[in-house]
């Protein structure tokens, strides 16, 4: 397509929609203009029609165009000073001496530095390796600043990897108290541990749970941070694949998970905390389904919480109404961030205060809902292979089981069991319990039954009866008499074993 022509047409259509009554063609409807504009946006920026329309509805025509343009430009590289090891001024001086051009990220942050140019890789400087800073998007400062953890508190980061927010919280707490840094991904948790060690964080415990389990596993936190998994519509500049790989199903599945995670976060907080009782919910998405609707759901399901000010000095107010939907007026306390407005990734931050314990009926209702969801999930995910199992043959790659090999393994296991009971396994090899003789016991125990082998004898001769096992008064005794004539024994070792067994059998009645 002719990109220059597309761009001109997009700009002109946007201008008409901004002042529709004055500039529009009377023969064309507004819907016609919007349809034409959506086609041009999809062709020019590479969005799917579904996502382009969804994002378009969030803004005025002029602002929507600015949003699409901003997603074509990467956000500035930002580093966060680790105040556990250094000060921002000292760090800036050191990096400037290494040929790095930088400046403070803004008045709203005391630890951020925006990098414009660098002569050295920022992920390999001595300062980086010493843990003086971490590469971290400016937008991810915001939820930690809203959480505002205090010294000596118990804090939970429900989705902590790769550790930028966790280590920032540790710095604000000055390595006091305790932070539980949780991540459901074991692989991502390894990167989290690496950053914790490098930055000198000492008050953090890394754990690997499903965040939904925390109210049952561990609760009583002063503050909980939930940076929920999301569609990533706020970070399209980093991941261009979001433009085409998000479908309507994603915006049904993700909000459901986010709602359950937020309820779990609320239930994990101690409402009686003297200094805390706060929950911060954040996403790197700009859609209403993942933000305001999730927060409204939590307010409906948990009447023991309310929205409070985030304490952030900039950001646009959250929606209190959208596309005919009405939200609680307190949602104006939440904050929205856009790349075209603040030059940070698209982000959303909401802060709750827990006022009392969660009502029992709310927990019960939630448990029933979770149970239904789990049943449905099991039904959806269960895959049954109806293919009949073919019988194994000698020609198969897997040759089946070897009876002789199995017999050797069984014999070794039996010998080991006999040794534990203080019985000589070599002696029992020369004995055999008659098949027609039942073992008498009040409560038979398989572990107490001993299988014995008879010594091979020539045809026409009987194998000797060496021992019988019986249980009297709960005590297991070996009773028997050596009967018959010993057959030929091939080795002296076997003869000695048989003699030893016979002596034990004769001695047992006396012991009784």
Binding-site annotation, residues for S-adenosyl-L-methionine = 159-165, 183, 227
Q: Answer yes or no: are the C-beta atoms of 212 and 260 closer than 8 Å.
A: yes
- The SS3 call for residue 138 is helix
Q: Answer yes or no: are the C-beta atoms of 434 and 469 closer than 8 Å.
A: no
CA distance readout (Å), 244 to 2, 61, 92, 473? 21, 21, 40, 79
Of the candidates 440, 416, 444, the one whose C-alpha atom is nearest the C-alpha of residue 428 is 416
Q: Answer yes or no: are the C-beta atoms of 270 and 276 closer than 8 Å.
A: yes
For residue 64, what are its two tokens?
A: 């929507």
- Active-site residue (options: 42, 207, 230, 284): 284
22 Cβ contact list (under 8 Å, min separation 6):
none
Would you tell me how many other CB atoms lie within 10 Å of the CB of residue 153? 20
Of the candidates 226, 220, 358, 228, the one whose C-alpha atom is nearest the C-alpha of residue 276 is 220
For residue 53, what are its two tokens?
A: 């329309």
The secondary structure element, H or E, covering residue 272 is none
Of the candidates 361, 370, 335, the one whose C-alpha atom is nearest the C-alpha of residue 264 is 370
Active site residue 42: no
For Cα atoms 135, 148, 344, give the angle at the middle one, nearest 5 degrees.
Answer: 40
Find the radius of gyration of the CA atoms of the chain: 37
In the annotated binding site, the residues are 159-165, 183, 227
Quick one: CA torsion of 39, 43, 49, 52, rounded to 10 degrees? Answer: -100
> Any idea which residues carry the catalytic annotation?
284
């Amino acid at each position: 397509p002719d990109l220059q022509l597309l761009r001109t047409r997009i700009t002109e259509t946007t201008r008409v929609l901004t002042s529709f009554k004055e500039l529009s063609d009377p023969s064309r409807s507004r819907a016609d203009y919007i349809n034409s504009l959506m086609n041009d946006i999809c062709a020019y920026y590479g969005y799917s029609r579904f996502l382009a329309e969804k994002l378009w509805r969030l803004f005025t025509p002029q602002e929507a165009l600015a949003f699409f343009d901003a997603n074509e430009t990467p956000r500035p590289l930002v580093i966060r000073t680790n105040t556990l090891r250094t000060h921002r001024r000292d760090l800036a001086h050191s990096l400037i001496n290494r040929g790095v051009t930088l400046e403070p990220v803004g008045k709203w942050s005391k630890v951020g530095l925006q990098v414009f140019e660098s002569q050295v890789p920022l992920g390999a400087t001595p300062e980086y390796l010493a843990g003086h800073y971490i590469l971290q998007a400016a937008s991810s400062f915001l939820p930690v600043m809203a959480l505002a953890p205090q010294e000596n508190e118990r804090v939970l980061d429900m989705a902590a990897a790769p550790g930028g927010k966790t280590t920032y919280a540790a710095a604000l707490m000055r390595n006091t108290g305790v932070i539980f840094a949780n991540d459901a991904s074991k692989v991502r948790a390894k990167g989290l541990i690496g950053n914790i060690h490098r930055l000198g964080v000492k008050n953090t415990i890394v754990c690997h749970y499903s965040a939904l389990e925390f109210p049952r596993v561990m609760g009583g936190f002063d503050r909980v941070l939930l940076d929920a998994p999301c569609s990533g519509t706020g970070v399209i500049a980093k991941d261009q694949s979001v433009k085409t790989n998000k479908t309507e199903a994603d915006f049904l599945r993700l909000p459901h998970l986010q709602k359950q995670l937020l309820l779990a976060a609320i239930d994990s907080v101690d409402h009686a905390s003297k200094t805390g009782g706060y929950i911060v919910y954040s996403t790197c998405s700009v859609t209403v389904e993942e933000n305001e609707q999730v927060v409204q759901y939590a307010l409906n399901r948990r009447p023991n919480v309310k929205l409070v000010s985030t304490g952030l000095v900039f950001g646009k107010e959250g929606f209190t109404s959208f596309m005919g939907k009405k939200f609680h007026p307190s949602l104006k306390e939440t904050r929205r961030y856009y790349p075209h407005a603040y030059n940070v990734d698209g982000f959303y931050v909401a802060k709750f205060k827990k006022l009392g314990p969660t009502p029992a009926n709310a927990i019960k209702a939630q448990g029933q809902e979770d149970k239904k969801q789990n049943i449905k999930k099991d039904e959806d995910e269960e895959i049954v292979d109806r293919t009949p199992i073919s019988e194994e043959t000698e020609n198969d790659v897997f040759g089946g089981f070897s009876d002789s090999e199995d017999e050797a393994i069984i014999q070794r296991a039996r010998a080991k069991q006999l040794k534990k009971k203080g019985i000589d396994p070599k002696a029992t090899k020369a004995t055999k319990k008659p098949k027609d003789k039942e073992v008498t016991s009040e409560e038979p125990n398989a572990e107490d039954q001993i299988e014995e082998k008879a010594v091979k004898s020539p045809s026409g001769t009987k194998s000797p009866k060496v021992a019988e096992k019986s249980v009297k008064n709960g005590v297991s005794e070996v009773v028997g008499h050596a009967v018959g004539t010993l057959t030929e024994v091939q080795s002296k070792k076997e003869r000695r074993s048989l003699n030893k067994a016979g002596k034990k059998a004769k001695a047992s009645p006396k012991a009784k």
